[in-house]
Amino acid sequence: MPQALRAKALKENAEIAHEFGRCDLKCYREEYLDEEDEERHWLAETVTMWGDAEDCESSVQLTLTTGQFAVVFDLNCSLTSGKAAKTSLLKHAQELLDQQFARFEESLPTPQRPRIIKVRRNKLFHWLRLHDAIEFANADRDEVRKALYGDPVRWPERERSQKMREAMKKMSIDLKRAREMVDGGYLELVPLDSLQERSEERRTQRRKKSDESAAGEQEVRKAVARKASKR
């Protein structure tokens, strides 16, 4: 492929990726996460680094746009404290980030302010099934309601009309949420990746401590048994 066409294709791919909140374009046939996904790929959780700690002569001039702010980490001040200073640096950076985010959020018109919605993983597949059935398969809503929210025949006759109204109302709410998720709302799932990673790390650490504790107890029992056998 000629260099000009390749550069154009890369630019178009980058524009498409940014439109969907990603740093790079990923084919729909690829796994959501695979062995090569060691770096973060979502714009919402990435930072840009300028300068190099090894290059003392480098200087950077930044032009910040609305919604951006810069933080400088001075590693010279941390030499005497060693790596332990990283915790304090990151805590201070977190405080600054929280302050700037709050100010930026207050400056936005109300419709543009981020919503705080707790995304439940167990609802995602249900929403996708509902969205695909209504929006793409043009399925009959009564049939969808029966398949996803229960068949009225199974309900007692005296409760049937009330149950049907409740099911239709719930389906309407779920369909609205599904449309929001498909139309950019999926970016609310981005923080769940890092939360899941930390949760898995904690579980691994707990299992390791539990195994070490069990191994220690076993060694103690063996020592007691050896001592008792010598008597």
Give the chain as a 3 state SS string: CCHHHHHHHHHHHHHHHHHCCECCCCCCCCCCCCCCCCCCCEHHHCCCCCCCCCCCCCCCCCCCCCCCCCCCCCHHHHCCCHHHHHHHHHHHHHHHHHHHHHHHHHHCCHHHCCCCCCCCHHHHHHHHHHHHHHHHCCCCHHHHHHHHHCCHHHCCHHHHHHHHHHHHHHHHHHHHHHHHHHCCHHHHHHHHHHHHHHHHHHHHHHHHHHHHHHHHHHHHHHHHHHHHHHC
The mean per-residue pLDDT over the stretch 156-174 comes to: 86
The mean per-residue pLDDT over the stretch 23-32 comes to: 69
Specify the higher pLDDT residue, 129 or 38. Answer: 129
CB–CB of 24/17 below 8 Å? yes
CA dihedral 120, 126, 129, 133 (to 10 degrees): -110
Tens of pLDDT, residue by residue over 33-42, are 555 555 667 7
Which pLDDT value is given to residue 111? 72
Which pLDDT value is given to residue 194? 57
With bands split at pLDDT 50, 70 and 90, how would you rate the model's confidence at 195? low
Give the best-scoring range by mean pLDDT among 136-140, 153-157, 221-225.
136-140
Arithmetic mean of pLDDT over the chain? 77
Judge whether residue 109 has pLDDT over 70: yes
With bands split at pLDDT 50, 70 and 90, how would you rate the model's confidence at 17? confident
Per the listing, tokens 């680094």 go with 49
